Structure 1
Amino acid sequence: MTSRAASGTAPIKAEYWISAEPRAVVDDDSAENATNHVNGGRMDDRDRDDGRSGPPPGKRQRMSKEEKKKRSGANKGRRFGKMRDEVELCWKVAVGNVCDFGDGCRFTHNITEYLEQKPRDLFFPQNCDSLSIPGISSEEFMEEEEPATVPATVPGLPSSINLSTRCPIFEEKGECRHGFKCRYLGAHVKKTGSGLEPVKDDKKVAERQVEASEYPLPITEAYLKELQVSEGIIKEKSSNTFTESELVDDESEVQKDTPDVPMRFSEKRRLNWKGLTYLAPLTTVGNLPFRQLCVSFGADITCGEMGLSTSFLQGSKEEWSLVRRHPSERTFGVQLAGSKPGMLASTAETMAREFGPQGVDFVDVNCGCPIDLVVRSGSGSALLDTPGKLSKILIGMNKALGVIPLTVKLRTGVKEGRNTAHKLMPRLASGTGIGAMTLHGRTRQQRYTKLADWDYIRECVDAVRAREAEEDLRPIPIFGGGDCFSSQSYWESVERGGVDGVMIGRGALIKPWIFTEIKEHREWDISARERLELLRKYAEFGLNHFGSDTAGLNTTRRYLCEAMSFTHRYIPIGLLEVLPGKLNDRPPAFRGRDDLETLLASTDSRDWVRISEMFLGKVPDGWSFTPKHKSNSYGSEEGQG
């Protein structure tokens, strides 16, 4: 008896079946198209690239400035409730400093009062070996009590403090920026004659300060004047500051395919990426903790979440937070989206001055985003249909970045059946000075509905290599993308597509250990306990990034559950009749080889939340969770601000 009930169904061995009916299909297209779940999935201010808020013309809704501000920023549209302490302690006092406002501060300065109402310290496990997981079903697991912590045993300490706990932030940095507000306070506090005070590990402490600056943009100004002269449009500028109206392209010019501006980029830093693994930039889920997790499994190249050029220039702290780099990220890039040569060049020049060549290894231009409103603004996949404009964008950014290389991510075309990348890519390689290209093997219209076309990727690679040989150009790395889900599929795709490597997106979200599989040329039958350890590591990385106070802890919880909305889709290869597993195969309802493996495959978001409680403590009242795959929700968001 075979377990493959129908084409496209994962070939799970019959003994692990619960039902032959396939599970409901997770809609990756819907999740990608609606990163905001307010107003029926329409995008908020952050998703617009025309400097305006709300839906496109003809569908605009009135809202106050306060509401616009509230909704702006990375993924604000889902409106998760922010959890706070019942009594809020002043941040200055929390870290042992003196508050500038004194008695006029709106937060309490009474540490004793704060600690009396503060929930007891959580206990973060060093590894999953210390966790006791009984052989129970997922339903029974949901009824388990919160894992017990070691009680405080020192007389005179508040009952909320647990000296046996450990704080991930303190262990990594030698101090905890949350002080008394930390939910793992016992790891970095001591009793003195006058009360309690935070402690530091002076050997680990390193001051890091990033100051926001406004820069003159002489390279961008010179390039824009060069474009204006070449088009017969001469405008005098009295300063180095450009307003948005000055950087908007004339509508007729957008459609005009003008010749490329000749430029030499011989002093650019070269990208030697052949043989390296590349984690794709991923909106929402591709945050720093997730990238750090993938690096721990062998990802060589990482890229921050897509950011909008307009938001960067407006000084959005949410947008600038997307480009934070962890020290473990050996080769790190920033991805930008936009439609105006001036805006993108200005952003590139600002980043070059802010980070320098040591802070960022490359900047990537998104020419592949298929989201409707991004395309309508002229960004993302829309740039595939305006090659002259795209060339101007790349040349301007390349000049503005100095020695920092510029890369570009593309799709095969816009409309299904009308591939254009084989014409566009040689042109970009020849005339823009880019350092690398990535080609996703689908058109914008196809989204994830068809398999990636690796034969066409090979055609495009061959066209670029022919142009490079014809013009005696140095070869640049070319990566492909689409449907890579195993070591076997990775190396087959490299061979079939003639590429230097494969950019991995959904495959890494479902199984972050795919990078280990690729490097070791094997399929890893990872155990349930090893997968649980992966989630523990993610939680630890999240606390270091988002914070160990109440708000940071529950932000970590939210992103951990978001990660599980993908990792639960993994089908253990020990359950399969045919290897390797395929990304688009739909599993029937199945059970694992043990109860933990069954639990980790649960499609019920309540199980994901309970797993988070193993590392982050009980979920507070009023907490809710809505992932990108909106059907898997926990709790209610009504009334949440």
Structure 2
Amino acid sequence: MEDGFARIKEEYILEINKKCGNNDVNKEVVTPIKQPEKRRGMDRQRKGKMLKAKIEMAKTEIRICPSVFSEDDIKCKYGDKCLALHSKEEYWAKKPPDIGTVCPIFEQQGKCKFSLACSFARAHTNTETMDQIEKDPSPSWKPTINSQTIQLQINLRKNLFKFERTETALKEISTTVACMERETNLNMKTLCGKTYLAPLTTVGNLPFRRLCIELGAEITCSEMAMATQILKGQPSELSLLKRHPSEKLFGIQLAGGYPDTLGKAVELIKDNFDVDFIDLNLGCPLDSVNEKGGGCSLASRPNKLVNALKCMQNVADKLPISIKMRYGMKEGKRTAHTIIKQIVQQSPPQLLTLHPRSRL
């Protein structure tokens, strides 16, 4: 062996017959049946275990019942079965120490909604009377718009919300032939030259949009919200519709695959939220969205798309409707020009954005 190579000690060198284990080379090799691998994290009993763990944690966790802070002296609905404390003094004595001396919510809003349960409770609590201290809010603080949705969620879950305009619009779809003409509050032509922050799922949240506005964005749009989840009163989906006061021109992007759900979602948004326009997502490539008829899938069904736009526009009345779409489903197969032609002839939106790429 030439110099410069690391030599292997003889005791670590195996002979060929030992390495093979003296097996007969000509012996037929039996390939064992491969058992399906258990996916990481799979545990059929996990749900039960987690439930038991939550119950045990609730028994040992120090919590105060929300009924204690009720201004109307509402009694606890759980009665004697409630695991939380009902005495402010007892909770204060057992409460973990604060993690800081300044409560950011109290400093901005003038009061803290978490009261004694706040991790900075001593900053806004009278330790003698256990009453909460209030002051004037900061001049820079403005409440978030479109955030009061608790009663709306309850009405949606109990089917108490009436979609009268949507039902009327759905009946008119089959009889409407000519192109619709209607007056709009927001003339989309006036948006020419303004910086439009494109809707960005998981990225374009409210804090990100606020930052972009400070950097020069003039038009903002919410993250993609599923029409079906909005109609179910899903809190996580309704939270996507929140708007900051600094957003002067704000739109909500909807995704859905059917005229009835999209129409109802538009009616709900128009009657209960502060919004300047609604954008219909026709470019989402996610399988979970396309399998339900939304995103790129809806753009590939022109007749269904036209009916959806007609229903949305009838319900929206003077609220502008815009759409964003890709040039086609598959690379190299451009179909957007034929779809756009049909849309413009039968149910033209106020703004159309073309994303020059395919879904696949």
Report the TM-score, using the length of structure 1 for normalisation: 0.42
In structure 2, the CA distance between the partners of 1:275 and 1:86, relative to structure 1 (3 Å rule), is farther
Whether the aligned pair in 1 keeps the contact of 2:282 and 2:326 (CA below 8 Å) is yes
Whether the aligned pair in 1 keeps the contact of 2:110 and 2:135 (CA below 8 Å) is yes
Tell me which residue corresponds to 2:334: 419
- Provide structure 2 residue ranges, at least 5 long, that are not aligned to the other structure: 1-38, 52-56
Structure 2 distance, partners of 1:295, 1:206, is: 16
Q: Which moved more, 1:406-415 or 1:197-206?
A: 197-206
The one-letter amino acid of 1:196's match is M
Whether the aligned pair in 2 keeps the contact of 1:411 and 1:442 (CA below 8 Å) is yes
Structure 2 distance, partners of 1:326, 1:100, is: 36
Tell me the secondary structure at the aligned position of residue 440 of structure 1: strand
Tell me the secondary structure at the aligned position of residue 130 of structure 2: strand
Answering whether residue 118 of structure 2 is matched by residue 182 of structure 1, we say: yes
Whether the aligned pair in 2 keeps the contact of 1:334 and 1:363 (CA below 8 Å) is yes
Answering whether residue 24 of structure 2 is matched by residue 107 of structure 1, we say: no
Whether the aligned pair in 1 keeps the contact of 2:326 and 2:355 (CA below 8 Å) is yes
Structure 2 distance, partners of 1:370, 1:287, is: 20
1:90 corresponds, among 60, 65, 79, to 65
Tell me the secondary structure at the aligned position of residue 442 of structure 1: strand
Structure 2 distance, partners of 1:95, 1:285, is: 37
Structural mapping, 1:146-545, within 5 Å: 162=101, 165=102, 167-192=103-128, 195-202=129-136, 210=149, 211-212=151-152, 213=155, 214-229=160-175, 261-271=178-188, 272-355=190-273, 359-445=274-360
Structure 2 distance, partners of 1:201, 1:324, is: 26
Whether the aligned pair in 2 keeps the contact of 1:96 and 1:197 (CA below 8 Å) is no
Deviation at 1:443, TM superposition (A): 0.8
Which has the bigger relative contact order, CA under 8 A and spacing at least 6? 1
Structure 2 distance, partners of 1:120, 1:276, is: 50
Superposed CA deviations along residues 540-568 of structure 1, whole A, max 9, x for unmatched, are xxxxxxxxxxxxxxxxxxxxxxxxxxxxx
Greater C-alpha radius of gyration: 2
In structure 2, the CA distance between the partners of 1:309 and 1:374, relative to structure 1 (3 Å rule), is same
Whether the aligned pair in 2 keeps the contact of 1:362 and 1:406 (CA below 8 Å) is yes
Structure 1 distance, partners of 2:352, 2:183, is: 18
Tell me the secondary structure at the aligned position of residue 169 of structure 1: helix
Deviation at 1:429, TM superposition (A): 4.2
Whether the aligned pair in 2 keeps the contact of 1:95 and 1:180 (CA below 8 Å) is no
Structure 1 distance, partners of 2:299, 2:137, is: 52
Structure 2 distance, partners of 1:353, 1:262, is: 25
Structure 2 distance, partners of 1:98, 1:283, is: 43
Superposed CA deviations along residues 578-600 of structure 1, whole A, max 9, x for unmatched, are xxxxxxxxxxxxxxxxxxxxxxx
The one-letter amino acid of 2:301's match is T
Whether the aligned pair in 2 keeps the contact of 1:405 and 1:434 (CA below 8 Å) is yes
Structure 2 distance, partners of 1:168, 1:95, is: 23
Whether the aligned pair in 2 keeps the contact of 1:175 and 1:201 (CA below 8 Å) is yes
Deviation at 1:375, TM superposition (A): 1.3
Report the TM-score, using the length of structure 2 for normalisation: 0.71
Structural mapping, 1:539-618, within 5 Å: none
The one-letter amino acid of 2:321's match is L
Whether the aligned pair in 2 keeps the contact of 1:295 and 1:328 (CA below 8 Å) is yes
Structure 2 distance, partners of 1:304, 1:221, is: 26
Structure 2 distance, partners of 1:281, 1:267, is: 22
In structure 2, the CA distance between the partners of 1:181 and 1:279, relative to structure 1 (3 Å rule), is farther
**What percentage of residue pairs aligned between the two structures are identical?**
37
Whether the aligned pair in 2 keeps the contact of 1:179 and 1:198 (CA below 8 Å) is yes
Answering whether residue 120 of structure 2 is matched by residue 120 of structure 1, we say: no
In structure 2, the CA distance between the partners of 1:368 and 1:206, relative to structure 1 (3 Å rule), is closer
In structure 2, the CA distance between the partners of 1:299 and 1:95, relative to structure 1 (3 Å rule), is farther
Tell me which residue corresponds to 2:20: none
Q: Which moved more, 1:297-306 or 1:396-405?
A: 297-306
Tell me the secondary structure at the aligned position of residue 213 of structure 2: helix
Whether the aligned pair in 2 keeps the contact of 1:96 and 1:179 (CA below 8 Å) is no
Structure 2 distance, partners of 1:184, 1:430, is: 60
Deviation at 1:89, TM superposition (A): 1.4
Structure 2 distance, partners of 1:390, 1:427, is: 10
Tell me the secondary structure at the aligned position of residue 220 of structure 1: helix
The one-letter amino acid of 1:424's match is I
In structure 2, the CA distance between the partners of 1:188 and 1:215, relative to structure 1 (3 Å rule), is same
Superposed CA deviations along residues 36-68 of structure 1, whole A, max 9, x for unmatched, are xxx89xxxxxxxxxxxxxxxxxxxxx9xxx99x
In structure 2, the CA distance between the partners of 1:94 and 1:296, relative to structure 1 (3 Å rule), is farther
Deviation at 1:328, TM superposition (A): 2.0
In structure 2, the CA distance between the partners of 1:261 and 1:122, relative to structure 1 (3 Å rule), is farther
Tell me which residue corresponds to 1:467: none
Q: How many residues align?
A: 295
In structure 2, the CA distance between the partners of 1:423 and 1:172, relative to structure 1 (3 Å rule), is farther
Tell me the secondary structure at the aligned position of residue 225 of structure 1: helix
The one-letter amino acid of 2:182's match is F
Deviation at 1:178, TM superposition (A): 0.9
Structure 2 distance, partners of 1:381, 1:442, is: 11
Structure 1 distance, partners of 2:327, 2:96, is: 53
In structure 2, the CA distance between the partners of 1:267 and 1:388, relative to structure 1 (3 Å rule), is same
Tell me the secondary structure at the aligned position of residue 412 of structure 1: strand
Deviation at 1:432, TM superposition (A): 2.2
Deviation at 1:202, TM superposition (A): 5.0
Structure 1 distance, partners of 2:123, 2:134, is: 10
In structure 2, the CA distance between the partners of 1:340 and 1:170, relative to structure 1 (3 Å rule), is same
Structure 1 distance, partners of 2:324, 2:93, is: 53
In structure 2, the CA distance between the partners of 1:319 and 1:111, relative to structure 1 (3 Å rule), is same
Superposed CA deviations along residues 468-508 of structure 1, whole A, max 9, x for unmatched, are xxxxxxxxxxxxxxxxxxxxxxxxxxxxxxxxxxxxxxxxx
Tell me the secondary structure at the aligned position of residue 238 of structure 2: helix
Deviation at 1:329, TM superposition (A): 1.8
Deviation at 1:177, TM superposition (A): 1.0
Superposed CA deviations along residues 377-408 of structure 1, whole A, max 9, x for unmatched, are 22100122112221111121011011111111
The one-letter amino acid of 1:382's match is S
Structure 2 distance, partners of 1:206, 1:419, is: 46
Q: Which moved more, 1:312-321 or 1:209-218?
A: 209-218
